Amino acid sequence: MRLKAGLIIFLHLIAFGCYKAPVLPEAELAKKMEQRLWEAGAFDFIPADYEIFCHALRIARIHEIQAKSRFFLWRKMDRVRDEYQQLIARGEDLLRLIEDKKRQQEGSLISKLQELEIIIIRLRAISSAINESHEIRQRIIKTELFLAEAQREIGKQRYKEADHALFSARQQALSARQIVLDLFERYMNEDYLSLWQKMAQDTIDQSKKLNSPVIIIDKLERKLFVYSKGKIKSAYNVGLGRFSLANKVHAGDEATPEGKYKIIKKILNSKYYKALLLDYPNDDDKKRFAEMKRKGLIPPLIGIGGLIEIHGGGQDGLTYGCIAMENEDIDEIFPIVEIGTPVTIVGTINRESVILKLVKEL
């Protein structure tokens, strides 16, 4: 009987020893944690920490397999359970770390996006105030498309794609910015600003000294001022050449000239209603033209041009270099001026121009 009882106990021990250990719930939770980390973007945001976690999980699984392979009396599943629990806790920490990094990256991307939006607002304002805006506006449109794409990707938490879109947007914005800076190079130069200021002031002083009307045209502000006895009598909005910010160099460049001119003819029945013909090119213009020709900066067959007028026809259309006014405005100044009335055209006399301020802020 004793032998039989001992045999039964021995068989039970063998049965329990061969019994397959159940799957640990902690093991399942740790496996799910690995998946949660992957879905949260651990590979992108914390690649090194994620690799360490995955390696530790693999080690824990090996320890679990080793423990299960032992005779049940020597199985130490509590150690394996603790190992998995530590991994689960570490996974929770990593998930919080990922969320922190996401918030930081999203904040950085939004900051970049907002900076570009400010640049675009300034570029749009500048482009609306100048004739040379076609290339600028094209780049503004492309920038805005990339910014919209970046916003969509940020909303989807696709930060790599958002950063790529922002990079493209920045390239377009910087290209537009460079065009503006090139166009306004002279307007940012103190020598030019001082020269224009002096030219205008000399003409105003001439008006005061001779007690006669003079005209000053500010190309940047697109304004025509009539002075009498050294005081502003009236001001009008005007239209200018297609490339109004540049100084006229030769025929066909569609730029409005800068310099001290005078009215040499009053035309009652012009193609553009009424017109005041200026004495462009003057001696300074001819000298500059000859020098540029000598340097090869102007093609041999290109002439200096002429027929620069202050005329009617409306201020909104682009000219080939003339100064265009509304018909009712030229009606006002036509009887005031005479043959020989000084007309000074400058880049700008307004150092505090809103446009210049926007350019400086780019």
At 47 the pLDDT is 92
Provide, for the chain, the percentages of residues in helix, strand and coil under a 3-state DSSP scheme, each rounded to the nearest 5: 60, 15, 25
At 270 the pLDDT is 87
d(CA 186, CA 161): 39
Task: Identify whether residues 170 and 241 lie together within a single domain.
Answer: no
At 17 the pLDDT is 46
Tokens of 90: 């570490």
At 6 the pLDDT is 53
Task: Identify whether residues 7 and 152 lie together within a single domain.
Answer: yes
Task: Identify whether residues 168 and 196 lie together within a single domain.
Answer: no
Tokens of 91: 């996974």
| Mean predicted confidence (pLDDT) in 174-201 | 95
State yes or no: pLDDT of 1 exceeds 80.
Answer: no
Task: Identify whether residues 175 and 27 lie together within a single domain.
Answer: yes
Count of structural domains, the chain = 2
Query: Domain containing 340 — which CATH number?
Result: 2.40.440.10
CB crowding 84-114: b at 16 or more within 10 Å, else e: beebeebbeebbeebeebbeebeeebeebbe
Position 13 in a domain? yes
Task: Identify whether residues 194 and 179 lie together within a single domain.
Answer: no
| Closest to 241 in 3D by CA, of 217, 225, 265, 264 | 217
Position 355 in a domain? no
8 A C-beta contact, residue 46 and residue 98: yes
Q: How does pLDDT run across 138-169, given as a tens digit for each residue?
A: 999 999 999 999 999 999 989 999 999 999 99
d(CA 122, CA 314): 27
State yes or no: pLDDT of 15 exceeds 60.
Answer: no
Of 149, 183, 217, the last residue of a domain is 183
Position 224 in a domain? yes
Position 359 in a domain? no
At 71 the pLDDT is 67
* 8-22, 187-201, 327-341, 347-361: least confidently modelled range: 8-22
Q: How does pLDDT run across 43-73, given as a tens digit for each residue?
A: 888 999 999 999 999 999 989 888 888 766 6
| Mean predicted confidence (pLDDT) in 209-238 | 93
Position 113 in a domain? yes
Of 150, 183, 216, the last residue of a domain is 183
Task: Identify whether residues 207 and 136 lie together within a single domain.
Answer: no
Task: Identify whether residues 201 and 131 lie together within a single domain.
Answer: no
| Mean predicted confidence (pLDDT) in 291-299 | 88
- State the chain's mean pLDDT as an integer: 89
Task: Identify whether residues 44 and 163 lie together within a single domain.
Answer: yes
Position 357 in a domain? no
Burial of 10 (0-12, 13-18, 19+ CB in 10 A): exposed
At 22 the pLDDT is 62
| Mean predicted confidence (pLDDT) in 231-243 | 92
* 71-75, 222-226, 272-276, 296-300: least confidently modelled range: 71-75
Q: How does pLDDT run across 251-288, given as a tens digit for each residue?
A: 888 899 999 999 999 999 888 999 999 999 999 999 99
Task: Identify whether residues 64 and 167 lie together within a single domain.
Answer: yes
Task: Identify whether residues 164 and 250 lie together within a single domain.
Answer: no
Residues 6+ apart with CB under 8 A from 250: 289, 292, 298, 302, 303, 304, 305
Tokens of 215: 């005209």
Q: Where in the sequence is the domain holding 153, given as residue range(s)? A: 1-183
Give the Å distances, CA to CA, from 290 to 106, 298, 299, 302: 58, 9, 12, 11
Q: How does pLDDT run across 17-40, given as a tens digit for each residue?
A: 444 556 689 889 999 999 999 998
Position 213 in a domain? yes
Of 147, 163, 183, the last residue of a domain is 183
- Band (11; pLDDT cuts 50, 70, 90): very low
Helix (H) or strand (E) holding 224: strand 223-228
At 297 the pLDDT is 87
How many residues are listed for the chain in this entry? Answer: 362
Position 358 in a domain? no
State yes or no: pLDDT of 4 exceeds 60.
Answer: no
| Mean predicted confidence (pLDDT) in 225-246 | 92
Burial of 186 (0-12, 13-18, 19+ CB in 10 A): middle
At 293 the pLDDT is 87
Nearest-Å Rg of the Cα atoms of the chain is 40
Share of the chain above pLDDT 70, in %: 92
Task: Identify whether residues 118 and 160 lie together within a single domain.
Answer: yes
Q: How does pLDDT run across 86-113, given as a tens digit for each residue?
A: 999 999 999 999 999 999 999 999 999 9
d(CA 296, CA 148): 46
Task: Identify whether residues 3 and 75 lie together within a single domain.
Answer: yes
State yes or no: pLDDT of 13 exceeds 50.
Answer: no
